[in-house]
Amino acid sequence: MRFLMNSKSLLSLFALSFALLFFSSCEDENKTGCTDPLAINFDADAETADNTTCTYPELMLHMHFKVNGDDLVYDQMYTINGVNTKFSLAQFYLSNFSLLSSDGTEKVIEDSYLLVKPEQMMYSLGAVDNNTYTQLKYNFGIDATTNSQSEEDFAARPLDDPLGIQNPSMTWNWNVGYVFAKFEGFVDATGDGITGTEMRFHIGTDDLYRSIETAIDVSANAASNTVHLDIELSKVFETIDLAQSNFTMTVSGLPETDFAGLASTVADNMPNVFSVQ
Amino acid sequence: MQHPKSHRFSSFLLLLTACIFWQACTDDTADIPDFAYTQTPYELNLAPHFPALPIPEDNALTQERVHLGKKLFYDPILSRDSTISCSSCHLQNIAFTDAEAISIGIENRLGFRNTPSLANIAYHDALFKEGGVPSLELQVVAPIQEHAEMDFNFNDIITRLINHPEYPTDIYRAYGREPDPFSITRSIAAFERTLISDSSPYDGFLQGDSSMLSLQEKRGLSLFNSPNLACSSCHAGFDLTNLEFLNNGLYEIFEDPGRYRITLDDADRGKFKVPSLRNIALTAPYMHNGSLASLDEVLDHYQSGGTGHPNQSSLISGFDLSAEEREDLKAFLHALTDSVFIQNPAFNME
């Protein structure tokens, strides 16, 4: 029996079509967007997720090297623990960053390694979450796994990788692993007013890795967000008399009886060096 | 069956085309550019009594890599003032050592140790005398950056190599990369792995030809192996070293702490890697600091039983040798000289 378009069925057809039209137009008004609440373009109204469009806030660290509160200038005379001191090099590794938010959650920033030096002010920690952070957690030096260079030796890394070959070198020549910090310059060891004695602190090896926590207050809700950190170099040498103890390569140096101990003291001091501006 | 003219002609054209294609496809000078990344295997012909050469996965031996590494090894471009190359301290005719007590770098700067021989260095998995560096590739970095050796850095070396007429091509051919730390360290290590010394008279003897050692040298070998002298306890095996870190009682107090630098363990003070004795007659002066000038002085030391340092190997307890026995022993040590190795043109640029 063939279907006949009589007026009854025609009306039903219209009703059906109208209903379909109504519902399909509502379908078009239904939004597509980023549904991740940790993104800065989180759209609470989006019903269809397209999270490839999500954008996240970038966290920048702005590092300020200081000596006794003044901006660091290489080859300028400072007094540290009563000893006249000049710096010609001050750089170190910070690694494995994470952020604590006000609700207690921790955001780990994977593979974060920074070589911090006075010539570079801004460092990116990459994408974080749209959240309010109260603590920056990080470490002085390089973790033991990466420090063993068992997966990729530094000669295989590109030159712009902070863990790649550096100039000045940040790896030991006679051993595997990174030099966590180099502080070099001259001190007045004799008290004659002339900074004539070379100062060299090369700090490294796995047991000098130190964890650091710095209280911060940052709401990462913009595309770029900056934390300003002061690095107070005089605190690197807390309890150290630079006239007597000014040379350590961690396993050799002066004084000969305490070269490893001198390196440990510097490593122990590092967490106290950082503060938020 | 009829073959119309047109059919024949088109068959001919087809054949002609086929011939042209065939010729083009087999023409080996056609399409490959001059500097393609190529890997022509490097053939090592190790003596049968030598174990297989340890070669890392990311640095297989190819002729291109070995050639590049050799070129860099002999090139002072790696030093700040372009005066020092690897070969400045590693001279082939004396088994890749220098004749100095302490090696000398640019501007006559003094290092702090005696240059080791590179013969059979491929078998070492711990480089430097305290064994801190785990690969030949990583070792390359040290003398380049060392203040008293080449006093230079990779950034500036790479600038020089990029501007060099040949190196960018050589490096691309060998590693498919632009000049970078990877290609520099891998290529020099690849060349060093080919420095095999396996053709001394002693090697001939080890392979079963007893005529390769004279009667005197054989007497020396017996002394060398004797429990009383115990030379072969540490200078053991095909390469005359067990590659262990041992203290031979050279000093009461070691200024150079040796293995202690790595482990920070007092039990490792004064311990150094046992060197191979291959080509030993050529590689004076001896010891980690080149403090003993002759084989006689070395034998005097071991004969005396050492200083009695707390970490001294218990195998060193002193012995007696007659004048004749000493000459026999020294004759054997001279039979470790590999005249093929020190003249092999594959290892130099001439």
Average pLDDT over residues A110-130: 96
B residues 218-257 closer than 8 Å to A (CB): 257
CA pair distance A54, A34, nearest whole angstrom: 5
pLDDT tens digits for A67-81? 999 999 999 999 999
Number of cross-chain residue pairs from A and B with Cβ atoms under 8 Å apart: 66
Q: Please report the pLDDT score of residue A257 as a whole number.
A: 66
Residue with the two structure tokens 């759209």: A43
| Residue A189 tokens, joined | 């060891």
Which of A175, A182, A257 has the highest number of chain B CBs within 10 A, making it the mutation to test binding with B? A175
Would you call B132 an interface residue with chain A, using a CB distance cutoff of 8 Å?
Answer: yes
What is the distance in angstroms between the Cα of A127 and the nearest Cα belonging to chain B?
29
Residue A47 pLDDT greater than 90, yes or no: no
Residue with the two structure tokens 């070589």: A115
Name the residue facing B182 among A156, A174, A252 (closest C-beta): A156
Give A10's pLDDT tier (boundaries 50, 70, 90). Answer: low
% residues pLDDT > 70 (chain B)? 90
CB atoms near residue B163 (< 10 Å): 10
Q: Which region holds residue B84: left if phi is over 0, alpha if psi is between -120 and 50, else beta?
A: beta
Q: Residue B117: which of B284, B242, B255 has the closest Cα? A: B284
Q: Residue A88: which of A98, A103, A78, A96 has the closest Cα? A: A78
B residues 42-81 closer than 8 Å to A (CB): 58
| Residue A145 tokens, joined | 């796994």
Question: Whole-model pTM?
Answer: 0.85
| Residue B87 tokens, joined | 């070969």
Q: Please report the pLDDT score of residue A245 as a whole number.
A: 94
Average pLDDT, chain A: 89
Amino acid, single-letter form, for residue B99 = A
Q: What is the DSSP letter of B163?
A: T
Q: What is the DSSP letter of A102?
A: T
Q: Is there a contact between B142 and A176 if contact means CB atoms under 8 Å apart?
A: no
CA pair distance A267, A253, nearest whole angstrom: 16
Q: Are B278 and B293 in contact (CB under 8 A)?
A: no
Angle, CA B48 vertex, CA B44 and CA B53 arms, to 5°: 45
| Residue B259 tokens, joined | 């293995």
pLDDT tens digits for B58-110? 999 999 999 999 999 999 999 999 999 999 999 999 999 999 999 999 999 99
Give A7's pLDDT tier (boundaries 50, 70, 90). Answer: low
Residue of A nearest to B155 (CA): A167
| Residue B94 tokens, joined | 């004396």
pLDDT tens digits for B144-154? 999 999 999 99
Give A17's pLDDT tier (boundaries 50, 70, 90). Answer: low
Residue of A nearest to B158 (CA): A159
* Three-state secondary-structure class, residue A187: strand
Q: Please report the pLDDT score of residue B13 as a whole number.
A: 58
Q: Residue B60: which of B169, B137, B154 has the closest Cα? A: B137
Give A27's pLDDT tier (boundaries 50, 70, 90). Answer: very low
* Three-state secondary-structure class, residue B33: coil
Q: Please report the pLDDT score of residue A159 as a whole number.
A: 84
> Which residues are within 8 A (CB) of A213 and not within 5 positions of it... i.e. 6 or more apart?
A135, A136, A137, A271
ipTM score over 0.90, yes or no = no
Residue A1 pLDDT greater than 80, yes or no: no
Q: Which H or E run contains B107?
A: none
pLDDT tens digits for A163-181? 999 999 999 988 889 999 9
Q: Is there a contact between A175 and B58 if contact means CB atoms under 8 Å apart?
A: no
Which residues of B are less than 8 Å from A175 in CB distance? 132-133, 261-262
Q: Is there a contact between A168 and B146 if contact means CB atoms under 8 Å apart?
A: no
Would you call B178 an interface residue with chain A, using a CB distance cutoff of 8 Å?
Answer: no
Residue of B nearest to A167 (CA): B153
Residue with the two structure tokens 């195998």: B315
Average pLDDT over residues A30-53: 87
Residue with the two structure tokens 């967490």: A271
Which of B262, B263, B266 has the highest number of chain A CBs within 10 A, making it the mutation to test binding with A? B262
Residue of A nearest to B256 (CA): A252
pLDDT tens digits for B175-233? 999 999 999 999 999 999 999 999 999 999 999 999 999 999 999 999 999 999 999 99
Q: Are A220 and A136 in contact (CB under 8 A)?
A: no
Task: Write down the H helix ranges in chain B.
Answer: 5-26, 63-73, 86-89, 136-145, 154-162, 167-175, 181-193, 201-206, 215-225, 231-234, 260-263, 295-304, 323-334
Angle, CA A112 vertex, CA A106 and CA A113 arms, to 5°: 140
Which residues of B are less than 8 Å from A159 in CB distance? 154-155, 158, 180-181
Residue A253 pLDDT greater than 80, yes or no: no
Would you call B133 an interface residue with chain A, using a CB distance cutoff of 8 Å?
Answer: yes
| Residue A2 tokens, joined | 């063939």
Question: Residue A67 phi/psi, 5° resolution?
Answer: -130, 120
Q: Is there a contact between A167 and B155 if contact means CB atoms under 8 Å apart?
A: yes
Which of B129, B185, B186, B259 has the highest number of chain A CBs within 10 A, making it the mutation to test binding with A? B185
Which residues of B are less than 8 Å from A174 in CB distance? 128, 130, 132-133, 142, 261-262
Residue B238 pLDDT greater than 50, yes or no: yes
Which residues of A are less than 8 Å from B156 in CB distance? 167
Average pLDDT over residues B100-127: 96
Distances B167 to A230, B139, B203, B348 between C-alpha atoms, Å = 45, 21, 38, 18
Weakest mean pLDDT among A14-28, B62-76, B265-279: A14-28
Distances B282 to A60, B91, B285, B345 between C-alpha atoms, Å = 59, 11, 9, 19
- Ranked by mean pLDDT, the top range of A6-15, A28-37, A251-260, B202-211 is B202-211
Name the residue facing B132 among A156, A168, A175 (closest C-beta): A175
Average pLDDT over residues A196-201: 96
Q: What is the 3-state secondary structure (H, E, C) of B66-106?
A: HHHHHHHHCCHHHCCCCCCCHHHHCEHHHCCECCCCCCECH
B residues 257-276 closer than 8 Å to A (CB): 257, 260-262, 264
Residue A121 pLDDT greater than 70, yes or no: yes
Angle, CA B348 vertex, CA B346 and CA B350 arms, to 5°: 105
A167-190: buried (b, 16+ CB within 10 Å) or exposed (e) per residue?
A: eebbbbbbbbbbbbbbbbbbbbbe
Q: What is the 3-state secondary structure (H, E, C) of B189-237?
A: HHHHHCCCCCCCHHHHHHCCCHHHCCHHHHHHHHHHHCCCCCHHHHCCC
* Backbone Cα Rg of chain B: 27
Residue with the two structure tokens 């053991």: B236
Q: Which H or E run contains A9?
A: helix A7-29
Average pLDDT over residues A16-38: 66
* Three-state secondary-structure class, residue B260: helix
Name the residue facing B262 among A154, A169, A175 (closest C-beta): A175
Residue B33 pLDDT greater than 90, yes or no: no
Which of B57, B155, B261, B272 has the highest number of chain A CBs within 10 A, making it the mutation to test binding with A? B261
Name the residue facing A165 among B133, B141, B146 (closest C-beta): B141
Q: Please report the pLDDT score of residue B328 as a whole number.
A: 98
Average pLDDT over residues B320-327: 97
Average pLDDT, chain B: 92
Q: Are B194 and B200 in contact (CB under 8 A)?
A: no
Would you call B126 an interface residue with chain A, using a CB distance cutoff of 8 Å?
Answer: no
CA pair distance A264, B280, nearest whole angstrom: 42
CA pair distance A83, A81, nearest whole angstrom: 6
pLDDT top residue among B7 and A204:
A204
Q: Are B325 and B223 in contact (CB under 8 A)?
A: yes
pLDDT tens digits for A83-101? 999 999 999 999 999 999 9
% residues pLDDT > 90 (chain B)? 87
Q: Are B268 and B312 in contact (CB under 8 A)?
A: no
Q: Please report the pLDDT score of residue A153 as a whole number.
A: 87
Q: Please report the pLDDT score of residue B1 as a whole number.
A: 47
B177-209: buried (b, 16+ CB within 10 Å) or exposed (e) per residue?
A: eebbbbbbbbbbbbbbbbbbbbebbbbbbbeee
pLDDT top residue among B2 and B186:
B186
